[in-house]
Structure 1
Amino acid sequence: MDVEGRATQKIEEGEEKGSQNDDSGLATAHTIDRDSWKQVGSMLVTSFNCGWILSFSNLIMWPLGWTWGIICLLVVGLYTAYANWLLAAFHFVDNRRFIRYRDLMGYVYGNSMYHITWVFQFLTLLLGNMGFILLGGKALKEINSEFSDSPLRLQYYIVITGVAYFFYSFSIPTISAMKNWLGVSAMLTFTYIIFLLFVLVKDGKSNSNRDFDISGSEVSKVFNSFGAISAIIVSNTSGLLPEIQSTLRKPAVKNMKKALCLQYTVGVLFYYGVIVMGYWAYGSAVSAYLPENLSGPKWINVLINAIVFLQSIVSQHMFVVPILEALDTKFLEIDKAMHSGENLKRLFLLRASFFTGNTFVAAAFPFMGDFVNFLGSFSLVPLTFMFPSMLFIKVKGRTASIEKKAWHWFNIIFSFVLTIATTISAVRLIVDNIQKYHFFADA
């Protein structure tokens, strides 16, 4: 164990023995210090294997092709795992514990970075939740399409999805409260992935006419490649690691790293497998929503879409809890139970307002891939790569070697350039789709 690891361990041991700590940032309406690393690891595995992965064959492999697609999946995946591993070590700074990303950045860099982190993180989570609502609506519409040549408009299913997410979020308000649902979520996750892989193998073997050509002009290929990198980042990270880490039992740093190991071994095996197999089965014709390509039988198509919808109800919750925690901490009476008295009314209104707004926006702009690319570029890139290295420079810079400081400055500069490039790519795609679609389009 290195010096930094020993220092972190001593801090956490002091916390367990009841040493004094600055609790000013620990006031929260949600539960902290309760969950095991296995519970959090299982949540990460199932949440990152949600229905989002059904878009990634199109968003990642189609623009990059086989060679660059595989290289980028491996390199960006490892880079993301490293960045999260680094960030987990800063759960304690100057003997103080930080349960929110924005509090950590604000303490180290001042009030401006607090607000920048707040904007980046909440933008990521808001867009991500809209994407989940679109995903659920798409799954329900695909089920309807199996039984009707004229299915209802997508917006009806988006509303149904928003209502389902609202009721789950109201009943299961915190990350820790998801504990009893993770087993069900894991069963649903592995069931739909197994059936999906079965159909992909069958379709791939029978599809002898598929091609893997990357179409478009040279300029569009470059922009699409940056969009693909954004999607790889989205597939591997969330931008809310400190909030997830806050739920862990002590030692929180060690347990968070164990949970990350579970995600980047077991979890990545499944979602990378679907990404690669989807592209192998359909080539450049792979859809932005993979079940649209499936040949059947009908009952498997219905089953996969039904499970994707049900699984998304649970998995979406992890990605939106930091926003809900901020609302709950501000508006609820945190010294009382969440589902008691006045808190119950406030909780209902908070959840209803949040999901009504998100559902409306998702229904108005039903461009699923655009949400993925944009949240992976403008906000998630700095949250994942830039900010952890900034923390290292500020907290460990005086004692770190020149090589380490140079490495982290490289991360900061590289992620800044990557943010600009991927954001331009995402905005270009959004502008293009706005020209193709109208508000409330039946996409």
Structure 2
Amino acid sequence: GSWVHCCYHLTTSIVAPPLLSLPYAFTFLGFWAGILCLVIGALVSFYSYNLISLVLEHHAQLGHRHLRFRDMANDILGPRWGRYYVGPIQFVVCYGAVVACTLLGGQCIKAIYVLSNPDGTMKLYEFITIFGCLMLILAQIPSFHALRHINMISLVLCLLYSACATANSIYIGYSSKGPKKDYTLTGNTESRIYGIFNAIAIIATTFGNGIIPEIQATLAPPVKGKMFKGLCVCYAVVIVTFFSMAISGYWAFGNQSEGLILSNFVVNGNPLVPKWFFLMTNIFTVLQLSAVGAVYLQPTNEVLENTFGDPKSKEFSPRNVIPRA
């Protein structure tokens, strides 16, 4: 693949719906401390991702191309660390991200359903199951490179729903429907300290796991400079989406910002913005969540396929489809 494909993969793995929680993180930090943490998070994560890319490039020039994080650990820390420490941690992180995407996707679908049919009787677990079935289909996509068109659409979707959520926040902030703005930090000293750690954890999680080795492995040689271009475009999207969402959401709702800013747009079942616009925001979010889940499925599927699959069988044989399912 090209550096453009790399940009699609990176953006999907980093710019995801958890950015809708950034205004909530600001409620524990305040405006300026929140901005500072976002800037530090962007600088540190960009530097780290670029450094990992350069290390991978260096080893590739020496004839040891690393395709996974555990391959790097095998060379740098030793085979035991790669097999029993780094590999399992990455598996748990990626699998946890897929589970989180499925839960959040179910919540967003339920929000669409409740707004469209207020008297409906369907429960949250049913919507989570529906989204899980979608992920089951996407799990059959065989490789990162095969995801390039989906991830291109994902890049557009993340710009769309962050723009919609920002517009919703600004609309409510200027209207009389919104809550009274209060930016004071609530709670006693102990709760504020815990809140600061909570906010830092939210911001760190929002920058995500770039899955750099697996994405760099999709690049066609020569690799030099391609990952840096992809990272630059990816972080341009990060700056536009993260900062606009965090600032507008916190400005509109202050310390009443919810864990997911979409929850602030509805009060007692009634949207504070035009109904069609709120539905559109949720639809964009659900669609991008499916792409994010598909990206984080790739490293976990690779582990499961190596353990349970059979490379001599056909791609869609039961022996190879069942582990992905």
TM-score by length of 1: 0.66
C-alpha distance in 1, partners of 2:157/2:40? 29
Please give the alpha-carbon distance, in whole angstroms, between the structure 1 residues aligned to 2:237 and 2:312: 38
Structure 1 residue aligned with 2:323, among 350, 357, 370?
A: 350
Corresponding residue SS for 1:97 = coil
Instruction: Kindly provide the CA deviation profile for residues 166-220 of structure 1, in whole angstroms up to 9, marking residues without a partner as x.
Output: 11121x2321111222343233333323322221111111247111122222122
Q: Which position in structure 1 is the counterpart of 2:170?
A: 201
Aligned residues of 1:287 and 1:293 also touching (Cα < 8 A): yes
Task: Name the residue aligned to 2:305.
Answer: 328
8 Å CA contact 1:203–1:281 kept in 2: the answer is yes
Q: Contact conserved, 2:159 with 2:237, CA < 8 A, in 1?
A: no
Structure 1 253/220 Cα, relative in aligned 2: closer, same or farther at 3 Å?
farther
**Matching residue of 1:152:** 122
Say if 1:52 and 1:132, in contact at 8 Å, map to a contact too.
no
Match of 1:106 in 2: 74
Cα distance in 1 between the residues matched to 2:21 and 2:208: 16
Which 10-residue stretch deviates more, 159-168 or 274-283?
Answer: 274-283
Q: How many residues align?
A: 312
Tell me the TM-score normalised to structure 2 length. Answer: 0.89
Structure 1 residues 155 and 145: alpha-carbon distance in aligned structure 2, compared to 1, 3 A threshold: same
Match for residue 222 of structure 1 among 193, 201, 218:
193
Greater RCO structure (CA 8 Å; 6+ sep): 2
Residues 183 and 254 of structure 2 are in contact (CA less than 8 Å); yes or no, is this contact kept in structure 1?
Answer: yes
The list of structure 1 runs, each at least 4 consecutive aligned residues, that deviate by more than 4 angstroms after superposition, is none
Counting only pairs closer than 5 Å after superposition, residues 400-411 of structure 1 correspond to structure 2 as none
User: 1:166 — aligned with what?
Assistant: 136
Per the alignment, residue 388 of structure 1 pairs with none
Contact 2:313 2:320 in 1 (8 A): no
Q: Distance in 2 between matches of 1:266 and 1:349?
A: 36
Cα displacement (A) at 1:105: 0.9
Structure 1 residues 37 and 246: alpha-carbon distance in aligned structure 2, compared to 1, 3 A threshold:
same
Mapped partners of 1:53, 1:151: distance in 2? 30
Q: Give the whole-Å Cα distance in 2 for the aligned partners of 1:193 and 1:239.
A: 20
In 2 relative to 1, CA 316–268 (structure 1 residues): closer, same or farther, beyond 3 Å? farther
Residue equivalent to 2:65: 97
The verdict on how the C-alpha distance between 1:187 and 1:265 changes in structure 2, with shifts beyond 3 A counting, is closer
State how far apart, in whole Å, the 1-side matches of 2:211 and 2:158 are. Answer: 22
Counterpart CA distance in 1 for 2:30 and 2:246 is 12
Structure 2 portions without partners, runs of 5+: 266-271
Structure 1: gaps spanning 5 or more residues: 1-34, 353-443
- Find the counterpart in structure 2 of residue 370 from structure 1: none
Deviating more after overlay: 128-137 vs 118-127:
118-127
Question: Distance between the aligned counterparts of 1:120 and 1:183, measured in 2?
Answer: 28
- Mapped partners of 1:248, 1:335: distance in 2: 26
Query: In the TM superposition, what whole-angstrom CA distance separates every residue of 1:356-395 from its partner, at most 9, and x where no partner exists?
Result: xxxxxxxxxxxxxxxxxxxxxxxxxxxxxxxxxxxxxxxx
> For residues 335 and 176 of structure 1, do their structure 2 counterparts lie closer, same or farther at Cα, with a shift above 3 Å needed?
farther
- 1:375 paired residue number: none
Cα displacement (A) at 1:141: 1.1
